[in-house]
Structure 1
Amino acid sequence: MIIIPFSENLVAYTKVAADLERIVVRMVFESYGVGKHHESHVGSANYLCRVMKYRDPEISETKMAFVPHTDKSFMSTIHQNNVDGLEIKAKDGEWFGLHGLSFSSVVVMAGDAIMAWSNDRIKSPIHRVTMEGNEARYSLAQFTVMEKDMVKAPNEFVDEDHPLRYKPFDHLKFLNFFNQEENRMLESPIHTYCGL
Structure 2
Amino acid sequence: MISVLLVDDHPVVRAGVRGMLDGEPDIAVVGEAGSGAEAVTAVRALRPHVVLMDLRMPGIDGVTATGQVLGVAPTTRVVVLTTYETDTDILRAVEAGAAGYLLKDTSRADLVNAVRTAARGETVLAPSVATRLLHRVRRPQHESLSPRETEVLRLVARGLSNAEISRELHISEATVKTHLLRAFAKLGVSDRTAAVTTAMSLDLL
Q: Give the TM-score normalised by structure 2.
A: 0.24
Q: Quick one: higher RCO (CA 8 Å, sep 6+), 1 or 2?
A: 1
Higher helix share: 2
Q: Give the TM-score normalised by structure 1.
A: 0.25
